[in-house]
Amino acid sequence: MRAVVQRVLEASVTVDGVVVGRIERGLLVLLGVRTDDTAADLEYAVQKCAHLRVFEDEEGKMNRSALEVGGAVLAVSQFTLYGDVSHGRRPSFIDAARPEQAEPMYEAFCSGLGRLGLPVERGIFGADMKVALVNDGPVTILVDSRAPKR
């Protein structure tokens, strides 16, 4: 599972001209599900995103999580995070999970963040979405459940 996590002052997602999700201070999470993702990958992504220390403390150091600062999450499904461009110029999406697998994982990700106490707004799975944001910093972090652990 991959997540592009951006610390934002505000973010919104619009579908067919209607805002379907909007947050102020918090995290915009673009979430991609891989064909072989498991419950362990899901739990890793939920815990990592919820506890990611990217908000400043009193000393100006990135030392607080969205949970600690009362932030919210706008979660948007994005299969293109598994676009492979290593061969040619057109991305291959063979590693991206099919919608029937990816949608329940996306919903479980959102529910998992909510269970931890984060307010969660969502995009609409599979829709043509327009995402707007004001990246704070800018701070953008890649979370990958399959990345080698150091």
Q: Which residues are catalytic?
A: 78-80
The closest alpha carbon to 84, from 130, 16, 15, 35, belongs to 35
What is the C-alpha separation between 7 and 29, in angstroms, rounded? 9
What is the C-alpha separation between 76 and 125, in angstroms, rounded? 8
| 28 alpha-carbon distance from chain centroid | 6
What is the C-alpha separation between 94 and 64, in angstroms, rounded? 36
Q: How many CA atoms lie within 13 A of 117 on its CB side?
A: 8
What does the block give as tokens for 10?
């505000």
